[in-house]
Amino acid sequence: MRIALATAWDPRGEMTRFLNLLPQFQDAYSGMAFSLPPGVGEHLVEKLNGLSQVTATVTEDWSHGRYSALKLAADFGAEHIQYADFDRLLRWVEIRPDEWRQVLSEIPEHDCLILGRSAASYQTHPRALIETEAISNRVVSHLVGQPMDVSAGSKSFSIQACETILLNSTPGNALGTDAEWPLILKRSGFEVDYVEVDGLDWESADRYQDEAADQQSQKAAADMYDADAANWSRRAAVAMEIVQVGLDTLAREIASKSETEI
């Protein structure tokens, strides 16, 4: 079955790494939909749109990034769509391509597959992320009805599940989609499945580097991140956003495609 990629990407010097891996991406995905933040260089947009199997668009509001990418990918005609935050996916393909390929082979078996981080992968992150995401993950796990890490920015959907998400969500929830999308599907009767992988470890240390950061560089960057109190405050706000969007999703009506066609 064909799998399309939907991805939001705020480029931070990763273009060369992407081009080096482009043949692997083109082989794995029937199409790639990139949403980019306002203000991104026009030359980069043109370069992406000049690549085979790639369509890139600039969002008017970066909080719309994930939704816009999913909506764009839904028009590619693929049977399944993987959503991924691109900086994290790029690291995964670069350092653990075999694991990535294995997961891709499993995607067609699921209407919704949440890709979470293994314990080892999680420990590469700053404590500011580990401690705050523990809260949002626990709440969303309770709402979905099974333990899972929803905050790794990677998940896949059948086209039917994708259409249900687009029908019942609107742009603007940003990282709150980590709760919103699986809860929409859960309430619509889809199975929400889960798998943990090693390849979704912390990606931010890779920024403006020629290759994925090693463990020592990751640790140094994580320690520096934790030393700034503003990062703790920001990550707490992200966790609260995810929880609030999850609660809001439970409280509103969920429509089916058949209802809108009546």
Domains and CATH numbers, the chain: 3-254 (3.90.550.10)
- pLDDT tens, 80-119? 999 999 999 999 999 999 999 999 999 999 999 999 999 9
Q: Average pLDDT of 219-243?
A: 97
Q: Average pLDDT of 53-62?
A: 96
Helices (H), the chain: 15-28, 42-49, 65-73, 86-95, 97-106, 119-122, 127-144, 159-168, 177-187, 215-226, 229-251, 257-261
| Cα–Cα distance measured from residue 67 to residue 138, given in angstroms and rounded to the nearest whole number | 24
pLDDT grade, residue 256 (50/70/90)? confident
Given a cut of 90, whether residue 134 has pLDDT beyond it is yes
pLDDT grade, residue 262 (50/70/90)? very low
| Cα–Cα distance measured from residue 76 to residue 30, given in angstroms and rounded to the nearest whole number | 8
Q: Average pLDDT of 51-61?
A: 96
**pTM for this prediction:** 0.94
- pLDDT tens, 203-218? 999 999 999 999 999 9
Given a cut of 60, whether residue 191 has pLDDT beyond it is yes
